[in-house]
Structure 1
Amino acid sequence: MKLWPLLCLAICLLFRSGLSQRVVESLPGLPGGLPFYLETGYIGVGESEDVQLFYYFVESERSPKDDPLVLWLTGGPGCSALSGLLFEIGPFTFDYKTSTRSRPTLKLNDYSWTKVANIIFLDQPVGTGFSYANSWEGYNINDYISTTESYEFLRKWLKLHPQFQSNPLYIAGDSYSGIIVPMLTLEVDKGNEAGLEPRMNLEGYVLGNPLTNKSSDLNSRVPFAYLKGLLSNELYESAKTNCNGEYINVNESNADCVDDLKAVNMCVENLYEANILEPNCVVQAPESTVADARDRALINQDRPLVLRPTLRARRAWCREYNYLYSYIWASDIAVQDALHIREGTIEKWVRCNKTLSYTYTVTDVVDVHKQLIKRGFRALIYSGDHDKVIPYVGTQLWIDSLNLTISEDWHAWFVNGQVAGYATLYSSFPSLLTYATVKGAGHTAPEYKPEQCFAMISRWFDYFYI
């Protein structure tokens, strides 16, 4: 009987500390038990552990004790880890052939990165996915706070999973996480230098379609459009001359430049920025028309949405059709119960939360990459070559600015005898940086070319090159 008060105390302390880990054995929409290990949970971070960060952890299907451990941060900021898991690199995705609007079904992903790596998919920053805070102050966040809280999460996660402390560790992510991942990687290394426990076996980082230097990345959209044949030679040369190579924050008094950029916009307005091979669709809801293309489905989620291609592509398919399934599935109470979501902690799940109280404090992390190169880390940077959100043109520019030695010049890489992209290997002993493009892929690459991206990451983990 004397043990009971101690047991109650332990349970209370565990809940207050924000620690909870549960194994998921089955999921609605996927027949039978899961053929892989899936764990979900919350870890409290910040002052008084007010912020509760939710995660999905999938063990490698090959060799959990030997394969790398990857912390995956989906971009946004505010895009759920579940989005990265379902649509990019996770072990299951939607079966679009059998899914209906009322009952989405799942299937296994033959090209899941969890076949070669243990991956923690983290809902960060707070307010993303199923992560929440117990006070409104906890939701006030910026790039530095996001980095610090993600580092605290990782330290606590490894303390709870000591069997993975010796695995090679990689920090990874895509899109806006191009800002956070390098900062977090540097913080982990500095923590190791300071002797913080647990010591992490940090080997490098991985970035897909990454925002790195906001000004340069966005400015590269016009040269990208020209290189992809979306602009005439005459229009591009005129814009380059009249705008002096600067296509953002244009002085309105420069009428020639303004007129040229209006013409540029007309050339690309019917194209989906995330992949220029697809149509730009508008989402219409009662009493509103949402014009922003990045994630319209989260707007007016409680109202019926109608996805419509633009007038020039009336019969075209829209990628947002795929995304709607995630809202239906993740909002299902049975799904949330299976994932062990704490009842009442979020108002509703959205794929990408555009209402975060987020302050953008960092716009350029090129210098952070330079520090990481000096510290001897491996890096893989990849771009979908049809992505206009963060064009490969801008990514190549900042990589060139690192002034690294080229070990393997620009060359094609292949999957199943077909060109899958092009790559360059850079070195600055003992660091190695691989840059790869993925042919035909958009923002972000694994969603569009899963087989090619799986081959890319598998080769890079195992052989250090593609």
Structure 2
Amino acid sequence: MESPFLIVSLIFLCFFSSALSSSVVTHLPGFQGPLPFYLETGYVEVDEEHGGEFFYYFIESENKPAEDPLLLWLTGGPRCSAFSGLVLEIGPLKFVAAEYNGSLPSLIYHPYSWTKVANVIFLDSPLGSGFSYSRKYEGYDANDTIWSEQTYKFLIQWLVEHPQFISNPLYIAGDSYAGKIVPMVAKRILDGIDEGKEPLLNLQGYLIGNPVTGGKVDKNSQIPYAHNMGIISDNLFEMIQKSCSGQDYRTPTNSQCQMYLNSFTNLFLSEINEAHILEAYCPESRLNHLHSLASRTSSKRILKENQNILHPPPFPDLSCRCYAQTLAYYWVNNNFVRKALNVRKGTIKEWIRCNRHFPYAKENKSNIKCHLSLLQRGYRALVYSGDHDLVIPFLGTKQWIKSLNSSIMEDWRSWHVGGQVAGYTMTYSNNLTFATVKGAGHTAPEYKPQECLAMLSRWISGAAL
């Protein structure tokens, strides 16, 4: 009798022409010894007209890959590389926090990786993110719909080449701006299931962290959050409330409202670390760090090895959390690293962590309808927020969740890790769970990796947080 996996893959092949190339990576420069997990990198064509291909990193679950869920991870921005998710947030690698001296930055194993309990695809998307590329410039013209459609196409074609994962529980996941796109991708999968194209695709739900919705609630919640946290005075808060009443703070319609919002931005946000209000404000140094190495005998070797860096990023102080983001440039753009990752020569001149050089239209004003469509059909959702995030404050996230008008099944309570409060959570009758991560910022796993892994493990297994 033929395997059901074989039958499903043959059905898929009848409808989709897969253009996937992949390689298994066993060693990485800067990491001592063989990788203690299965890593695959590759490309999938998602735009035949313009020759657009998504680059991905796939890491098998370190537990039971044949049974554990499959997570498709999208990174925000838009156009921030999924490598950020892999090495700065939820993946099994992280950089050694050491001052850059011209040699290749070192990597170590991250014990709180989400790959402990799930198979994870880290996807460079949309085109122009990380190592994803288009042969024609027109392919870089993206928006919310294009991103979600091409991600859907990627997933289907990836599963054609990996039929052993078709029956695994499938979750779409991401954070920040990708929190807007994740429900759109899940909704597109649901539409495909309804159309009978993927009857056996095992979509179970989605999860989003510190998420953008696209609505005015994201920006507008910054003012009350800043007031509640003692960042702005009662007087300024009251003046903003009075002069901007009923307005979208992104587009104020009177000069008085604009004046008070400018005060908020210029006097307060300019000196606060929005990603985490309790951590140091770390403006980038104006000194080009490679130039500071010019007098050293190794500088020519350094420049040669990092010849893919066309615009070296400035370094913040070593004490700043974002120092690792800069180390990523010097690691990913190294020629030996590119060869190890099997990056195609000539496709991307310089890897940029968050690429702002290509056009992107945020045309979908809100994704609330996608949430409703999925939740009404019984799909599960986990929404989590770092409670010290001023970029997308949890107050706004709570507000749009409340607008879904679902009954509360379990009211606000604490959840714990290691005997300590890890945050607060509440669950709803529509299968949605909301959780704050105590002491975390934007994005939560960067600050509280152990707690976030525990949160994922419990939720994905169906247990209470």
Question: What is the TM-score when the length of structure 1 is the normalising length?
Answer: 0.88
Q: Secondary structure at the match of 1:463?
A: coil
Task: Please say if residues 20 and 158 of structure 2, whose CA atoms lie closer than 8 Å, have aligned partners that are also in contact.
Answer: no
Equivalent residue number for residue 264 of structure 1: 264
Equivalent residue number for residue 312 of structure 1: none
- CA shift digits 1:74-106 (9 cap, x unpaired): 011100010110000001111114864532101
Q: Secondary structure at the match of 1:380?
A: strand
Runs of 5+ consecutive residues of structure 1 not aligned to the other structure? 1-15, 288-299, 310-315
**Mapping for residues 124-143 of structure 1, pairs under 5 Å:** 124-143=125-144
- Equivalenced residue count is 428
**Mapping for residues 178-327 of structure 1, pairs under 5 Å:** 178-197=179-198, 199-244=200-245, 246=247, 247-254=249-256, 257-265=257-265, 266-285=267-286, 302-303=310-311, 305-307=313-315, 317-327=319-329
Deviation at 1:308, TM superposition (A): 5.6
Task: Please say if residues 42 and 56 of structure 2, whose CA atoms lie closer than 8 Å, have aligned partners that are also in contact.
Answer: yes
Please provide the CA RMSD for this pair.
2.1
- CA shift digits 1:282-308 (9 cap, x unpaired): 335479xxxxxxxxxxxx963555446
Distance in 2 of aligned mates of 1:386 and 1:275 = 5
The more displaced of 123-132 and 245-254 is 245-254
Q: CA separation of 1:24/1:308 partners in 2, compared to 1, >3 Å: closer, same or farther?
A: closer
Deviation at 1:48, TM superposition (A): 4.6
Question: What is the TM-score when the length of structure 2 is the normalising length?
Answer: 0.88
Q: CA separation of 1:304/1:341 partners in 2, compared to 1, >3 Å: closer, same or farther?
A: closer
Q: Secondary structure at the match of 2:429?
A: strand
Q: CA separation of 1:103/1:135 partners in 2, compared to 1, >3 Å: closer, same or farther?
A: same
Equivalent residue number for residue 360 of structure 1: 362
Equivalent residue number for residue 178 of structure 2: 177
Tell me the amino acid that sits aligned with residue 440 of structure 2.
A
Distance in 2 of aligned mates of 1:100 and 1:462 = 44
Q: Secondary structure at the match of 1:21?
A: strand
Runs of 5+ consecutive residues of structure 2 not aligned to the other structure? 1-16, 289-307
Tell me the amino acid that sits aligned with residue 457 of structure 1.
L
Q: Report percent identity of matched pairs.
A: 50
Deviation at 1:267, TM superposition (A): 2.8
Deviation at 1:176, TM superposition (A): 0.7
Tell me the amino acid that sits aligned with residue 433 of structure 2.
T
Q: Secondary structure at the match of 2:415?
A: strand
Q: CA separation of 1:179/1:229 partners in 2, compared to 1, >3 Å: closer, same or farther?
A: same
User: Which residue, 344, 347, 353 being the options, matches 2:346?
Assistant: 344
Deviation at 1:202, TM superposition (A): 0.3
- CA shift digits 1:260-315 (9 cap, x unpaired): 3343231332111111112333335479xxxxxxxxxxxx9635554467xxxxxx
Task: Please say if residues 313 and 326 of structure 2, whose CA atoms lie closer than 8 Å, have aligned partners that are also in contact.
Answer: no
Q: CA separation of 1:17/1:417 partners in 2, compared to 1, >3 Å: closer, same or farther?
A: closer
Equivalent residue number for residue 291 of structure 1: none
The more displaced of 343-352 and 91-100 is 91-100
Distance in 2 of aligned mates of 1:441 and 1:210 = 14
- CA shift digits 1:99-127 (9 cap, x unpaired): 64532101101100000000000000011
Tell me the amino acid that sits aligned with residue 462 of structure 2.
Y
Task: Please say if residues 309 and 330 of structure 2, whose CA atoms lie closer than 8 Å, have aligned partners that are also in contact.
Answer: no
Tell me the amino acid that sits aligned with residue 248 of structure 1.
R
Tell me the amino acid that sits aligned with residue 417 of structure 1.
G
Q: CA separation of 1:330/1:244 partners in 2, compared to 1, >3 Å: closer, same or farther?
A: same
Equivalent residue number for residue 88 of structure 1: 89
Moved >4 Å (runs of 4+): 97-101, 284-287, 303-309
